[in-house]
Structure 1
Amino acid sequence: MPEVWSAPVRFAECDPQGVVFNGHYLTWADEAVAAWWRSVGLPFAETGVEQLVKAAQLEWRSPARHGDTVSVDAELERLGRTSLTVALTVRVRERVSCRVRMTYVAVADGVAVPWPDQVRALLDR
């Protein structure tokens, strides 16, 4: 079952047309990924490695506007040796607003490294 993070859309997140500016979807994705890490039992900062965004993909579907509440589902899509991809769906009520895919790479001293065994064990369950 995906982890869900939600928040009201703030006026400052909207462009002059009253639609959420695209960069805010990535901020919401980051918040949802942090909540997802907590839900698997390991806060983001306690994975034992640095996590850097290697790739982010957004596919916009319909607008989110000031006054809406967005909810973001986050679930593991793929676990590799040194990277993982989280699939996220941003919704306003039941309507899909945006789909986001975030790929993170585990890094130590600036070099990609395998995910620690404790992380892999939590994600493999």
Structure 2
Amino acid sequence: MARSDFTFFYPKRVRFAEIDAQAVLFNSRYLEYFDIGLVEYWRAVGMYENMGIVGGLEFHVAKALVNYKAAIGLDEVIDIGVRCARIGNSSMTVAFELHASGKDDLRATGEEVHVHVAEVRGRPTPLPQHVIDLFEKFEGRSLREGVPA
């Protein structure tokens, strides 16, 4: 992927509490940045309001992956790129990129698989069609596995 593959970005400034002894963003914070970007992306899509997912839907993270490309330093502004990469029967794969603000300066990539469940401790259940429609409308393309764009 490239920065141009993302239509949604959210800016985040690196704070002192987020760096490690080498004065770069601590490794666990990358997933935190992905989470910040995800909430803002879902808000833009129309899936998140008033501290929760619209309609009381429940999602569990089944996979989280971070690929580090270059260090992120204190006080930098980072653009968190988020996009829904694909939708399965009960899961969504979300792609992330972290770039220096306003630049095609890739610092990290990531991927998370979110599984829709019937309840907090429930089994996977199919994503409602209205959810799929929201993400496909926002991304401007088909996200279903095996469905041509």
Q: TM-score, normalised by structure 1?
A: 0.93
Q: Is the 8 A contact 1:3 1:35 kept in 2?
A: no
Alignment match, 1:107: 117
Cα distance between partner residues in 1 of 2:46 and 2:33: 20
Deviates more, 1:87-96 or 1:97-106: 87-96
Give 3-state SS (helix, strand or coil) of 1:111's partner.
coil
* Correspondence 1:75 to 2:83: yes
After superposition, what is the alpha-carbon deviation per residue over 1:76-97, rounded to whole angstroms, capped at 9, x for unaligned? 1111110001111001132111
Q: Which has the higher contact order (CA 8 A, sep 6+)?
A: 1
In the other structure, the counterpart of 1:92 is: 100
Corresponding residue for residue 23 of structure 1: 28
1:39-78 equivalences under 5 Å are 39-43=44-48, 45-78=53-86
1:36 counterpart (29, 33, 41): 41
The alignment-based identity, stated in percent, is 28
CA apart distance, 1:6: 1.2
8 Å contact from structure 1 (residues 71, 90) kept in 2: yes
Q: Which moved more, 1:64-73 or 1:33-42?
A: 33-42
Task: Return the alpha-carbon distance in structure 2 between the equivalents of residues 26 and 55 of structure 1.
Answer: 11
Structure 2: stretches of 5+ with no match in the other structure: 1-5, 138-149
Calculate the TM-score normalised by the size of structure 2: 0.79
Show structure 1 runs of 5+ residues with no match: none
Partner Cα separation in structure 2 for residue 2 and residue 36 of structure 1:
10
CA shift at 1:56, angstroms? 0.6
Name the count of aligned residue pairs.
Answer: 125
User: In 1, Cα distance between the equivalents of 2:107 and 2:55?
Assistant: 30
1:121 pairs with 2:145: no
What root-mean-square deviation, in Å, do the aligned CA atoms of Structure 1 and Structure 2 show?
1.3
Runs of 4+ in 1 over 2 A off after TM superposition: none
Superposition deviation, residue 119 in structure 1: 0.4
